[in-house]
Structure 1
Amino acid sequence: MPTEVTTETRAGVEAGPEDLPVLDSPRKVAPKDARELSKVFFDKLAELEEGTHEYQYARNTLIEMNMSLVRYAAGRFRGARGDEMEDIVQVGTIGLIKAIDRFDLSRQVEFTSFAIPYIVGEIKRFFRDTSWAVHVPRRLQEARLELAKATEELSSRCGRAPTVAELASLMNLSEDEVIEARIASNGYNSASLDAAIGPDGEDDASPLADFIGVEDEALELFEDFHTLAPLLVQLDDRSRRILHLRFVEELTQSEIGSELGISQMHVSRLLSRNLALLRKGMLDES
């Protein structure tokens, strides 16, 4: 049923420009009627001075009438992330407003075709720039959205979780690229280390941090010693003695020189040479 409009001012409805219709509920205008009415409002908007009451009325009505475009675009991202649909619609509305402010009737382009890329672009930008717990390349952020949509479509079609090969075929990507997008998706959400882990309703739940492993520094030290031992055997007795006095008994270079009957400068040169040999040997082993 066509939307009923009037050029008269009704009770509770603010009057717009003289030759523009006044709508009781612009958001309830049917999409087909909104397309035709939008042309009228855009035509008038081009004549009005920005900042005036009449300009604001025409612009605000255009926004309200075309909210169905935002809801349509937002629906494409349903299930792509955990945000409430209301939040996605709000972001999409920013894209709609940008499209209205930049639209030009003289281009002979339908406003619907012009606006949708702005709305979708704004929603994607919001996902890309504000959502990731861990930063990943932009191409992988965008691939994650496509992966979510392809997964939902194939799951509905096949009645099961899609395979990597099926996703790759639908998305026109290689299987390696699909796997890479899946791995990158792990950086989308994060959880607090203080989050309680345990059966619901139980009081003895433990924090997530208790279940996360940490690097064992002793193990790393053991690996270093294991690599260093055969390198030390290759040194002569005096070189090993100097290293023992410096790093085990913690003597100064002067004290080592006195112990061995050589100058402090000679000790320094021997230490530097031997440490360089050991360092090179350990790096070559790794």
Structure 2
Amino acid sequence: MATQTPSLRSRGIELLMEYQHNPSVQLRNRLVRLNAGLVRKIAHRVSHQCSEPYEDLEQIGFIGLIRAIERFDPSQGCAFSSFAVPYIRGEILHFLRDRGNTIKIPRRWQDLQKEAQKKQLDLIHQLGRNPSDDEMANVLKISVAEWQEVKIAHKNRTPLSLDASVRPQDEPHPTTLGDTLPDAHYEVLQSLDEDRQQLQRAMSQLEETSRAAIEHVFLHGLSRKEVAEQIGVSPMTVTRRIHRGLKDMVDLLQPQVLQTDP
């Protein structure tokens, strides 16, 4: 939603709040269309990092967007774009992971590796030991340098265990590969908390009438008619106050969103 106009962004916030209280396929599809640009942006970026067609990545990204819409809670104070990006990107990355190895090895080297496995067993049987690089290169009829590249490529294709040490084991507290990975859950919670604080600051700067209307309808779950009866105005007036308040919030949040959205 980072590239949307303020009016569209305001409408998006309102639709998300409506969807939480009254979810429907029609409303969800409107939200998907409204945020389609976010999916296309991520799919386009990932398509330059893999061999999968952009169209396939885009379709998978929309699945992530739908999951984000279904799980989004506006009352948590998070910008939807920040919330949706991990779902969209995560769905695409899961798709790529399931499609096969991310490290692509030339077909020639894959064929050489398969042939080498058979030849190596024969040489071990003949020599009574593991063959040297020179002996393997000779039986495969390739250079020693190419054989060493084939071995390195095959080794790098094998995933490392998260328990693999990245520091000497003799240190008092050796670090494993898993220790170096960021805590994705903590990062999401941290991002949500930052967005919540931004939203609260924006709410606090609204006019009292607009802020009260938004809180009654979207946070307390009251209908516009119920709010109108409580404060002594017409439902249309409540709707206008909500629209004005959402537009003001978008104006207040927009500079920060443009800085933080990917």
TM class, shorter-length: 0.3 to 0.5
Greater relative contact order (CA < 8 Å, ≥ 6 in sequence): 2
Q: Higher helix share goes to which structure?
A: 2
TM-score when scaled to structure 1? Answer: 0.38
